[in-house]
Structure 1
Amino acid sequence: MNLALRAFINHLSTQATSAIKRSRRGFYAMNAMLFINQRSHQRSRYESDYGVLCRL
């Protein structure tokens, strides 16, 4: 991911964090996205984690 895109996403997330935290569904969705992003550089691990999230 290039730096400009990363900075843009960070900007959006800081703008949206307070609004997202007001809704429980948005809060869980945000956590799931962060979890997937942390694992995405490890391909096999990403596949298994994504499968677990889909079964929840």
Structure 2
Amino acid sequence: MKIYFDHEKLDVYREAIDFCSWVGEFLATISAKITAKDRARFLEMARGSALECAA
């Protein structure tokens, strides 16, 4: 039986962990994009997601 900290039981904590995993995968897709326009668009989306997370 695993012992959890109180904050680990919160849904928002689990969502934050999932989000962090998603951001890593999302940023990895940027490196596969060839054009500067695509790269700029993905970076802007990543910036927006980071700002949403911080809000």
TM-score for both structures, normalised by structure 1: 0.50
1:32 aligns with 2:48: yes
CA RMSD of the aligned region, Å? 2.0
Q: How many residues align?
A: 39
Query: Aligned partner of 1:31: which letter?
Result: R
Percent identity between the aligned chains? Answer: 5
Q: How far, CA to CA, are the matches of 1:5 and 1:37 in structure 2?
A: 11
On the 8 A contact 2:23/2:46 being kept in 1, the answer is no
Q: Which runs of 5+ in 1 are unaligned?
A: 41-56
The aligned residue for residue 6 of structure 2 is none
Q: Which has the higher helix share?
A: 1
Which runs of at least 4 in structure 1 moved beyond 3 Å after TM superposition? none
Shift of 1:15: 1.3
Greater length-normalized contact order (CA 8 Å, ≥ 6 residues apart): 2
The aligned residue for residue 4 of structure 1 is 14
Q: Which structure has the bigger radius of gyration?
A: 2
TM-score for both structures, normalised by structure 2: 0.51
Q: Which runs of 5+ in 2 are unaligned?
A: 1-10, 34-38
